[in-house]
Structure 1
Amino acid sequence: RTLGAYSGFGAIKEVLENPTGKPDKDGMATLVAELHEVIRANTPDEREYKRYMDGIKNSVLTAFYTPPKVADAIVEAIWDTRIAPQRILDPSAGTGVFVNAVDFHNPYAEITCFEKDPATGLILKHLHPEKRVRIQGFERIEPKYAGYYDVAVSNIPFGDVALFDPFFSTHTDPVRR
């Protein structure tokens, strides 16, 4: 239940700053310091600690997780069309609200989840150990999966952020390029 309630660090700009030595008017500096301590204590080295902290910091502008009712409505609309997808892709899975919605309709579906933020990806793996979870950006999907999935369903982060995708940047189709 606790992991399922995790909703990321969207709009919590305080995680962008190092809290040491700052006045703690609202208690956020104390919480951010505790976050740093917990991550540092649970990572094997400085490199891994930095990877987790960078993931959290990079998600401040985009981590606004989809409410389950929204995911349920979207997946319900797919099943209402009498389409019964067997291979589902969630390119920005968060903690897996779309996985839960799909599982309600087809618990045997093959679901592949991509989650770029390492902390969220780890939570996703714990919540859905039976699913294929890739803790990396969706742009890293191999070209062999083009056309493999029956449906891609997600509520991807919106914003003015461009990603490099080697599949599309070198594609022969000018629209995809």
Structure 2
Amino acid sequence: EPLQATLFDYLKEKEEVELNEKEDSLSDEFVVKEGDTVYFNHEEYKVREISKNQITGRNDLWLEPARQGNHQIPIVAFIDNEDLLRQINLERPEFIIGDEVKYKGKDCTITRFDDMGNNLKTVTVKDNTEYLGGMITGTDVIPYYKESELGKIFENLTNAKPEKTFEEIEIKKNEAHNFKITEETLPQKLSPSERLNNNLEAISMLNRVESGERELDITAQEVLAKYVGWGGLSEVFDESREGQWKEARAFLKDNLSQAEYEVARESTLTSFYTPKTVIDGIYKTLSGMGFKQGNILEPSMGVGNFIGNLPDEMSKSKFYGVELDSVSGRIGKLLYPESD
């Protein structure tokens, strides 16, 4: 004889249906869903579940490790998609834990990443060569500031990228357009550390684009546009300064020629780029004088701020830029490939 459903059974079933519908709506609301691959703290994970935390009111992203040997099951708390994307990556970072890399001529494995604070991070690699029958293995802890630096430190054997031909690189550069400066972060409002990091990241991006490791797109141009030169950053060239300044010196010596390094060192008292407010004022004066289009020469262009701030009504003008500093000039070429 069939059992008669009680009110309790009905309410329980209704609650389960509502819960399932709520979970389905959560999956539709966010940029990830169950089963997706994401990257968190340089580790690959699968999304196991997205749920609402009834205590905190936030959302919880439950992750399952993809790498054998990783036994962590992180729960990422977040408010919305923007908050979530600040904590996870949807695309694979260039380097993750478990990658086989070439470091100083040795085959190694990345075993961990650590954030030391003050923008300083470290990556630990294990030498794959075993000594005394595997009883001894070597490890190295390498400091870095920006993710882009890792490509200069390691060759990734696990996630190797196919080399692009010279023709492919040139085609990509030809597809790029002049960068438009829509807003400006005044260098004087940035701390020396922030200006230093912006410069180092721009130089790293410059080398990657020129070598074909990175496509020239708007994201790359945004990094390049943050280069502010070495005015007011004499500390980086002071051999007695330690910490981030010492690390930056080592980076510059590895990524600049001797001549470029000397030019940068000598420019600490003279390398100051024209701010947007001054440039806008000059263009306003030219407009008031009736100038609409023509040939414009910038005899000391830096990275090309005058080109990047060119008003729309003068966009048909032909721009010519001259810059003696190699690094600034090369950055300017990538920011404004449609100018001469």
Q: TM-score, normalised by structure 1?
A: 0.60
Instruction: State the match for 2:228 in structure 1.
Output: 7
Considering Cα pairs closer than 8 Å and 6+ residues apart, tell me whether 1 or 2 has the greater RCO.
Answer: 1
Instruction: State the match for 1:82 in structure 2.
Output: 290
Matched, 1:38 2:255: yes
Check conservation: 2:237, 2:249, Cα contact below 8 A. Answer: no
Query: Would the alpha carbon gap of residues 12 and 129 (structure 1) be closer, same or farther in structure 2, given more than 3 Å must change?
Result: same
Q: 1:114 aligns with which of 322, 325, 332?
A: 322
Q: 1:56 aligns with which of 247, 264, 277?
A: 264
Q: Which runs of 5+ in 2 are unaligned?
A: 1-221
Q: Which runs of 5+ in 1 are unaligned?
A: 40-48, 133-177
Distance 2:241 2:268 in 1: 22
Q: CA deviation at 1:15?
A: 4.3
Instruction: State the match for 2:118 in structure 1.
Output: none
Instruction: State the match for 2:246 in structure 1.
Output: 29
Distance 1:123 1:56 in 2: 14
Instruction: State the match for 1:45 in structure 2.
Output: none
Q: CA deviation at 1:10?
A: 0.7
Matched, 1:105 2:313: yes
Check conservation: 1:59, 1:117, Cα contact below 8 A. Answer: no
Distance 2:272 2:328 in 1: 12
Q: CA deviation at 1:23?
A: 5.4
Higher strand share: 2
Distance 1:79 1:120 in 2: 28
Question: Alpha carbon RMSD of aligned pairs, Å?
Answer: 1.8
Distance 1:29 1:98 in 2: 33
Distance 1:23 1:98 in 2: 35
SS at match of 1:59: helix
Q: TM-score, normalised by structure 2?
A: 0.33
Number of aligned positions between the proteins = 119
Identity %: 28
Check conservation: 2:283, 2:311, Cα contact below 8 A. Answer: no
Distance 2:276 2:262 in 1: 27
For each residue in 1:61-104, what CA deviation from the matched residue of structure 2 results, as whole angstroms up to 9, or x when unmatched?
A: 21111112221121121112212340111011111111122253
Check conservation: 1:14, 1:29, Cα contact below 8 A. Answer: no
